Amino acid sequence: MLNAAFIILTVAVLLGSTLAVLHLRTNLPAPPWPLGAVHGVVALIGLACLALALRGPPRGVEHGTASFGIIAAVLFVLAALLGVRLLAARIFRKRIVGGTIAIHAMLAVSGFVILAAYVFVG
């Protein structure tokens, strides 16, 4: 289940990177909000798989990475909360502030890197 969570969250990271690049284009309209919704749904599915995987036996105790799964899950939850705010702003045609996108991306990428260490080292 942990490998499935990692693969699904990898897809979510790739979709998020695509959204960020599309948003940073200055001369073209913002990316369509359904693409952001798909990114969010994929990320939530990955987060659910991660939560299920964390219920299993502990891993990474001998390498000191036992808490990495929980840390990654918390970072993903915080990123999801900001992602809901971004989606709501997009749906209601409010201005999306670049700082909010940056914090969302920072939390998600940090969670992904910690999850990668948990998967590959633990």
pLDDT, tens digit, for every residue of 15-68?
A: 999 988 888 876 777 777 788 889 999 999 999 999 999 998 888 888 888 999
DSSP code, position 60 = -
In the prediction, which pLDDT does 64 show?
87
| Length of the chain counted residue by residue | 122
In the prediction, which pLDDT does 59 show?
85
The alpha-helical segments, DSSP class H, found in 1-122 are 2-24, 33-54, 68-91, 98-121
Domain boundaries, the chain: 2-121
Please give the share of the chain, as a percent, with pLDDT higher than 90.
58
